Amino acid sequence: MTFESLGLHPSIIKALAESGYTEPTSVQAQAIPAGIEGRDMMVSSQTGSGKTAAFMLPALHKFAIQSDEQPAGGKTPNQEMQSSRSRGERPRFKAAQPKMLVLTPTRELALQVTTSTDKYGAFNRRVKAVSILGGMPYPKQMQLLSRNPEILVATPGRLIDHMESGKIDFSQLQILVLDEADRMLDMGFIDDIEKIVAATPEGRQTMLFSATLDGMVGNMAKRITRDPLIIQIAGSASKHENIQQRVHFVDDLSHKNRMLDHLLRDETMDQAVVFTATKRDADTIADRLNIAGFAAAALHGDMHQGARNRTLDGLRRGNIRVLVATDVAARGIDVPGITHVVNYDLPKFPEDYVHRIGRTGRAGRNGIAVSLVNHAEGMNVKRIERFTKQLIPVSVIEGFEPKRSASAPRSNKPGGWKPGDNRGGNKTSQRTFSKPGSAPRNEGSGFGKGPRTGSGTGNPAGAPRRSFGER
What angle is formed at CA 437 by the lines to CA 432 and CA 438, rounded to 5 degrees?
A: 75
Q: Are strands 205-210 and 175-178 parallel, antiparallel or unpaired?
A: parallel
Residue (47 or 238) nearer to ligand AMP, CB: 47
- Residue 193 · residue 178 · CB < 8 Å: yes
Beta bridge partners of 129: 151
With respect to ligand AMP, which residue has the nearer C-beta, 308 or 348? 348
x-or-dash string of contact with ligand AMP, 333-372, rule CB under 6 A: ---------------x------------------------
Which of 8, 12, 13, 21 is the binder for ligand AMP (CB under 6 A)?
21
C-beta of 23: minimal distance to ligand AMP in Å?
Answer: 6
Residue in 11, 13, 15, 24 binding ligand AMP, rule: CB under 6 A: 24
Binder among 52, 271, 326, 434 for ligand AMP (CB under 6 A): 52
Q: Residues touching ligand AMP: how many (CB under 6 A)?
A: 12
Q: How far is the CB of 141 from ligand AMP (least distance, A)?
A: 25
Residue 51 engages ligand AMP in binding (rule: CB under 6 A): yes
Nearer to ligand AMP by Cβ, of 13 and 292: the residue is: 13
Q: Residue 49, interface with ligand AMP (CB under 6 A)?
A: yes
Count the Cβ atoms, other than its own, within 10 Å of residue 56: 29
> Which member of 47, 426, 432, 442 binds ligand AMP (CB under 6 A)?
47
Shorter beta-carbon distance to ligand AMP: residue 40 or 351: 351
Q: State the nearest-atom distance from the C-beta of 52 to ligand AMP, in Å.
A: 3
C-beta closer to ligand AMP: residue 350 or 402: 350
Question: What is the smallest separation between the CB atom of 21 and ligand AMP, expressed in angstroms?
Answer: 4
Segment contacting ligand AMP by CB under 6 A, of 41-49, 162-170, 257-265, 293-301: 41-49
- Exposure letters 190-213 (e unless 16+ CB within 10 A, then b): eebbeebbebbeeebbbbbbbbbb
Supply the minimum distance, in Å, between the C-beta of residue 47 and ligand AMP. 5
35, 50, 414, 460: residue in contact with ligand AMP (rule CB under 6 A): 50
Q: Which of 53, 173, 181, 323: binder of ligand AMP (CB under 6 A)? A: 53
- Measure the CA–CA gap between 405 and 250, rounded to whole angstroms: 10
Q: How many CA atoms lie within 13 A of 259 on its CB side?
A: 29
Beta-bridged to residue 248, according to DSSP, are 372
Q: Which residues contact 227 (CB under 8 A, 6 or more apart)?
A: 39, 40
Q: Are 111 and 60 in contact (CB under 8 A)?
A: no
Interface with ligand AMP includes 428 (CB under 6 A)?
no
Residues at the interface with ligand AMP (CB under 6 A): 21, 24-25, 28, 47-53, 348
